[in-house]
Structure 1
Amino acid sequence: MISICFFLYIDEDVKPFPPEKTKEIVMSLKQPAVFCNMVGDWPALHWNVKYLSAMLEGKTIQFRLGLKTVDLVPQFETSCSYVEATLEEFLAWSCGQPSCLSGPFSCYDYSKYWAYADYKYIARIFEDKPEIFQDVRWSDFGFPGRSGKESTLWIGSEGANTPCHLDSYGCNLVLQVQGRKRWHLFPPGDTSFLYPTRIPYEESSIFSKVNIANPDLKRFPKFRNSTAHVVTLSPGQVLLVPRHWWHYVESIDPVTVSINSWIELDADHEARVEEAITRMLVCAIKSAENPSDGDLWLNPTEVEATSHEINLQYLNKAVSAYLECQETSVSGQAGSSSTGAKQRANTACKRKRREVGCEPESCTLLTQECDFPTPKAEELKKIPFGPHLIQVLPQSHKTSVMGAVAVESDSGDLHENEGEHFGKLHCKRNRLLMSNDCETAAHQMDSDCSPCTSQTALSTNDLLDCLVNPHVINLVAQLLLERMRE
C-alpha cells in the first residue's frame, strides 16, 4: 500500500490546518503521522549545511563518528569517536575533498564512517545570533512562543543514525530540512519485544538492546513479534512521534539536516519521578564498582555521575512537582482558571541539558503549561487524514528475520520495501555496553562472541539491567507516590 504526500501549489500563508486544530491533532494522535504543506513559509527551510556554515562563521561543533558496518549489536554513543570540526570541514569530508586529509576528519575514511552533529541546541550554537530563533515557527502547530530557541539541530552524513530508543518525556515534532531520513518506529506496546535497557545511561532515553538494522534473533527472539512503522521523511515534512514510541533513525542521503522540538505533556511529571529513581540507582550501583572493572556505562552526554545527595534532591523535586500538578488538576476540575495550571519539573529540557550549561546543583524548576486538552473519543475519529496529514502505517507483516519494510521516496510517498541487511558481530575489547554484550569480565566468550554456557557469573550490569527495567521502575514510582499521599 502506497500513500503519497502531495506538495500542493497553494498560498504559503494558508495552512491546511489552523494552529488550534493542529495542536488538537498533535495532542490526540497516538500513532506517528506526517504533516505536509505546513512549513512552506518557514525561513528554517533554507537551513542547509552551506547556509548554516556561513551563519556559524567558522565556529566548531562536535561530531559523533561511527562505523558504517552493520553488527548484531547497536552502535551506542559510548562506542563512537568524537571530533570538533566546522561545517565547512564536514562538507569537504563528506564530498571526499583532499583538503580534509589534514583536518579533524583525516583519520576517518568517508567510505567507512558516518558523522553526526546531533542534539545541538540551537539556543547554544547560535547564542550570539538570537534573531535566527524566529526562523522556526512552532506557533503554526499551536504552540505560541515556541521557536528555534526551544529546538535542537541535527546534521549528519549518509549512514548517521541514532540507536533505537524511546524518550521518557513529551512527544516529538521533527522538521526535515535537507536530505532524507528513515524512521523505524515501534509502538509502546512493543516495549518488551525491544528488550529495553538503561545501560548506557542517559536521562530520559531508554535504549533497545536490539540493532534494528540487523537484529540478532537468536539472542532477542521476541523481536519477531514487533511491528515497525517505517517512514522516509523528506524536506518540508514534519513528523509527529507520539509519547513513548520507540524510534531508530538513519540518514539516507549524503547530507541531512533536521530540526526538532519536544512538546511537554502532563504525563511527564510521573516520568520524571521514574527518571529520578533510575538515576539514583544507576549512579549508586555503577559508582560503587571497582574503577578498574568499570565499563562505558555513562553516555558521553551525561558528563559525570552525580552524587547521591544531588540525586536525592532531584527525586524530591520531581515528586513535589508531580504532587503539585495533581493538586492543581483536581482544583482545576472544581473551578476553571483563566490562566491554566502550571507544571514545574527539574531538568525539564529533553536530553543533553548540561550542554546548555545547567548543572544538577543549579537547575531550577521550569514552568510549562500543564492543562493540555483531552479530546473526546468522537473527536479522535475525526482526525483529518489526507494529503496534508499522512498516517505512518504499520508493516503489513511482522518484522522479518533480516530486515524491515521501509519507506523510500523522492516525492514523499510513504511505503515501500527495504532491502535486507547482513552483518557479522565483531566483539570489541573493553566495550561493556550492556548486559551480556561482549562482557569479557563476566563471561568467557567463544569465537562467535557468544557467552560460554558453562559460565554462570553475573555482572553488575546483569543485576542493574533487571533492577532498572522500566516496568520495575514504574512499580517503584507508584509505590513511592502512594507513600507520599498517605
Structure 2
Amino acid sequence: MTETLSSDLVRKITENVTVPLVFRNFISDWPLCRWDMEKWCSALGNKEVPFRCLRKHLVSDEPCWERKCEVKSMTFKEFITQSPTSEQWMYFDYKHLPQWFDEHAEFLKEVSWHKFGYPDKGAADSTLWIGSSGAHTPAHQDTYGYNIVAQLYGKKRWILFPPESGGMKPTRVPYEESSIYSELNFYCPNNMEAFNGLSRGRTVELCAGDALVVPRGWWHYVQNVDSVNITLNMWLPHEKDNSTRVSEALTKIMVAQVCKDLPQDTAKLLVNPNEDDLSDTPLAVLFLQLESVTKSYLDSRRKLRRIKRQRTCDDEANPPDIETLDLQAVLKDHKNLEVPPTVSAEELINLLKRNVRDFANTGVSFDEDEIDGTRSLCLTKAIIDAFSDNNVIELVKQNLFSRLK
C-alpha cells in the first residue's frame, strides 16, 4: 500500500537526495495548478513584462546565449495570443516574484512550499518562469544550493547530468555568478558529434502538478514543450555554499579585471546581461566581498572544529537521514516518486534531432553575423576558463586559506 508523503519526509528527501527526484502529481492540489488561461490572465493583469525572444529555427554549435536574444515587453494575454504562431520562442524567465508583482496580488498569496517541509517559504522565496514552446535555458550548473521545481501549467523537458560528468565542456563565458554554463547546444545543434561521448544523463518531462528536486551541482538543460508553460522554483542553501562563495568571489575578481581592460562593447561579450555592470564595479568592492565570504567560511570551519572537540561520547544515536535509509524502499513505498530514467548518447542525439525537425525544418542555419562574438575573443575566453577551472580555483582557495590562518 502506498504511504502518504509527510512534509517531514519530503524535506529529508530534498535535503539529502543525490539524484534528481520527480514527485508526480504531488502539487496537483495547489490552486495554481488548476487555473485556466482566463484565470492566469486575470491574475497577472495588464502589466507589461520583458520576454527574451529568439528565432526558433536558429541552428548553431553555440548555445542560444541570452546576449543573442532581443527583449520584447508584452502582457501575459498578448504572450498567450502570440505564442502558438510566433516564429520566435519567448521567455519571461528567472524572475523573483516580489520584484515583479504587488505583494497583495492573489497569485502571490497562493504560493506556499509547506508541502515540501518548508512552511516558512512562500512567494518571497520563489522565482517565476513563463515561456512558449522551444523557450529554454542553456545547459548549466547552479553553483549554490539545490533546487525544487513546481510545474504549474504545460509540459517542461529536463535533461540532467551528474556534477562530475565528462564531456559537458564547462565555461565561465558568458560569466554569471552562480552559473557554470556548458558550451554544448542542446536546443538545435549544428553538429551532433559532440554528444556522442555523453553518458549517465537522465531525462524527464514534467506536467502540471509535478515537482522535481535537482540536487546540488547537477547539470541541467530545460526546455518548454507546450505553447504556454508556467513554472515556479525555489533554491535552498547547501552546507557547501560557504566554500563555493569564496570560489565565486575569486572568479568574479578575475573576470572583472579582464573586463576592465577591454572596451565596454567587447567586455559585454564576456558576461551575461545581468552582469553588465561588472566592469564598472570598483575592485575594492569586489575585494570586500571576497573578504566577507572568506571570513564567513573560516568562521564556520572554526565553529565546526569546536563542535567536534566538544562532542562527548554520548551514546545517543543521531536520527537517520534519507542517505541512511534505503532510497529504493522509499521509492517502492511512494509510487508517485520516481528517479528520471537514464538516456544513452544515442537516445539523446535522437531527442536533439527531433528538436531540429520541430523547430529548424526550414533548412535555415545560422548566419555569420549571428556567431557569438566571443569567438573573436578566443584567447581571452580561454584564459578566463583556464583560471576559473575548478581545480585551479580550489588550489588558489586553499592557498589563500593557509595564508590567512
TM-score bracket relative to the smaller structure: 0.7 to 0.9
Give me the whole-angstrom Cα distance separating, in 2, the residues matched to 1:187 and 1:155. 26
Secondary structure at 2:345's aligned position in 1? coil
**Cα deviations across residues 249-275 of structure 1 (Å, max 9, x unaligned)?**
111111000110011111111111111
In structure 1, the partner of 2:96 is: 121
In structure 2, do the counterparts of structure 1 residues 173 and 137 end up closer, same or farther at CA, with 3 Å as the change threshold? same
Kindly indicate which of the two structures has a greater share of residues assigned to helix: 2
Query: Is structure 2 residue 167 aligned with structure 1 residue 193?
Result: yes
Give me the whole-angstrom Cα distance separating, in 2, the residues matched to 1:378 and 1:59. 48
Give me the whole-angstrom Cα distance separating, in 2, the residues matched to 1:419 and 1:120. 29
Alignment length (residue pairs)? 389
What is the 5 A alignment of 1:212-361? 212-215=186-189, 221=194, 224-291=197-264, 293-305=266-278, 306-333=281-308
Give me the whole-angstrom Cα distance separating, in 2, the residues matched to 1:262 and 1:419. 31
In structure 2, do the counterparts of structure 1 residues 48 and 245 end up closer, same or farther at CA, with 3 Å as the change threshold? farther
Give me the whole-angstrom Cα distance separating, in 1, the residues matched to 2:399 and 2:351. 39
In structure 2, do the counterparts of structure 1 residues 217 and 401 end up closer, same or farther at CA, with 3 Å as the change threshold? farther
Give me the whole-angstrom Cα distance separating, in 1, the residues matched to 2:261 and 2:28. 53
In structure 2, the partner of 1:76 is: 65
Give me the whole-angstrom Cα distance separating, in 1, the residues matched to 2:301 and 2:321. 15
Moved more, 165-174 or 385-394: 385-394
**8 Å CA contact 1:73, 1:425 repeated in 2:** no
Query: Is structure 2 residue 350 aligned with structure 1 residue 403?
Result: yes
In structure 1, the partner of 2:336 is: 388
Give me the whole-angstrom Cα distance separating, in 2, the residues matched to 1:90 and 1:420. 22
In structure 2, the partner of 1:63 is: 51
**8 Å CA contact 2:29, 2:209 repeated in 1:** no
What is the 5 A alignment of 1:398-477? 398-399=345-346, 402-404=349-351, 419=354, 421=356, 426-429=366-369, 432-434=372-374, 437=375, 439=376, 459-477=379-397
Among candidates 77, 86, 94, match of residue 83 of structure 2? 94
Give me the whole-angstrom Cα distance separating, in 1, the residues matched to 2:367 and 2:326. 52
Among candidates 143, 166, 184, match of residue 210 of structure 1? 184
Give me the whole-angstrom Cα distance separating, in 2, the residues matched to 1:420 and 1:80. 19
In structure 2, do the counterparts of structure 1 residues 49 and 120 end up closer, same or farther at CA, with 3 Å as the change threshold? farther
The Cα shift of 1:170 comes to 0.9
**8 Å CA contact 1:72, 1:425 repeated in 2:** no
Secondary structure at 1:282's aligned position in 2? helix
In structure 2, do the counterparts of structure 1 residues 465 and 425 end up closer, same or farther at CA, with 3 Å as the change threshold? farther
In structure 2, do the counterparts of structure 1 residues 293 and 33 end up closer, same or farther at CA, with 3 Å as the change threshold? closer
In structure 2, do the counterparts of structure 1 residues 428 and 470 end up closer, same or farther at CA, with 3 Å as the change threshold? farther
Secondary structure at 2:289's aligned position in 1? helix
Moved more, 15-24 or 165-174: 15-24
What is the 5 A alignment of 1:80-159? 80-96=69-85, 110=86, 112-129=87-104, 132-159=107-134
In structure 2, do the counterparts of structure 1 residues 381 and 402 end up closer, same or farther at CA, with 3 Å as the change threshold? closer
The Cα shift of 1:35 comes to 0.7
TM-score, normalised with respect to structure 2? 0.87
Task: Tell me which amino acid in the other structure corresponds to 1:384.
Answer: L
**8 Å CA contact 2:83, 2:227 repeated in 1:** yes
Secondary structure at 1:63's aligned position in 2? strand
Task: Tell me which amino acid in the other structure corresponds to 1:403.
Answer: N
Unaligned runs of 5+ in 2: 312-318
Moved more, 138-147 or 50-59: 50-59
Give me the whole-angstrom Cα distance separating, in 1, the residues matched to 2:115 and 2:379. 50
In structure 2, the partner of 1:21 is: 9
In structure 2, do the counterparts of structure 1 residues 314 and 46 end up closer, same or farther at CA, with 3 Å as the change threshold? farther
In structure 2, do the counterparts of structure 1 residues 324 and 48 end up closer, same or farther at CA, with 3 Å as the change threshold? farther
**8 Å CA contact 2:141, 2:180 repeated in 1:** yes
Give me the whole-angstrom Cα distance separating, in 2, the residues matched to 1:482 and 1:387. 49
In structure 2, do the counterparts of structure 1 residues 326 and 81 end up closer, same or farther at CA, with 3 Å as the change threshold? same
The Cα shift of 1:48 comes to 5.2
**Cα deviations across residues 176-203 of structure 1 (Å, max 9, x unaligned)?**
111101101111121x411001111111
The Cα shift of 1:143 comes to 1.5
**Cα deviations across residues 288-331 of structure 1 (Å, max 9, x unaligned)?**
12446445222112241122111111111111221222233334
Secondary structure at 1:284's aligned position in 2? helix
Give me the whole-angstrom Cα distance separating, in 2, the residues matched to 1:381 and 1:480. 42
In structure 2, do the counterparts of structure 1 residues 334 and 140 end up closer, same or farther at CA, with 3 Å as the change threshold? farther
**8 Å CA contact 1:180, 1:234 repeated in 2:** yes
What is the 5 A alignment of 1:358-369? none
Secondary structure at 2:43's aligned position in 1? helix
The Cα shift of 1:382 comes to 4.2
Task: Tell me which amino acid in the other structure corresponds to 2:216.
Answer: R
Task: Tell me which amino acid in the other structure corresponds to 1:172.
Answer: N
Secondary structure at 1:30's aligned position in 2? coil
Task: Tell me which amino acid in the other structure corresponds to 1:480.
Answer: L
In structure 2, do the counterparts of structure 1 residues 326 and 238 end up closer, same or farther at CA, with 3 Å as the change threshold? same
Task: Tell me which amino acid in the other structure corresponds to 1:233.
Answer: L
The Cα shift of 1:124 comes to 1.7
In structure 2, do the counterparts of structure 1 residues 232 and 477 end up closer, same or farther at CA, with 3 Å as the change threshold? same
**8 Å CA contact 1:194, 1:223 repeated in 2:** no
Give me the whole-angstrom Cα distance separating, in 2, the residues matched to 1:292 and 1:38. 47
Query: Is structure 2 residue 150 aligned with structure 1 residue 175?
Result: yes
Give me the whole-angstrom Cα distance separating, in 2, the residues matched to 1:30 and 1:382. 15
Give me the whole-angstrom Cα distance separating, in 1, the residues matched to 2:195 and 2:402. 33
Secondary structure at 2:270's aligned position in 1? coil
Give me the whole-angstrom Cα distance separating, in 2, the residues matched to 1:252 and 1:222. 21
In structure 2, do the counterparts of structure 1 residues 170 and 61 end up closer, same or farther at CA, with 3 Å as the change threshold? same
**Cα deviations across residues 108-150 of structure 1 (Å, max 9, x unaligned)?**
xx1x211000011112222342664341221211122011210
In structure 2, do the counterparts of structure 1 residues 195 and 95 end up closer, same or farther at CA, with 3 Å as the change threshold? closer
TM-score, normalised with respect to structure 1? 0.73
Give me the whole-angstrom Cα distance separating, in 2, the residues matched to 1:117 and 1:420. 21
**8 Å CA contact 1:72, 1:211 repeated in 2:** yes
Secondary structure at 1:154's aligned position in 2? strand
Give me the whole-angstrom Cα distance separating, in 1, the residues matched to 2:80 and 2:385. 40
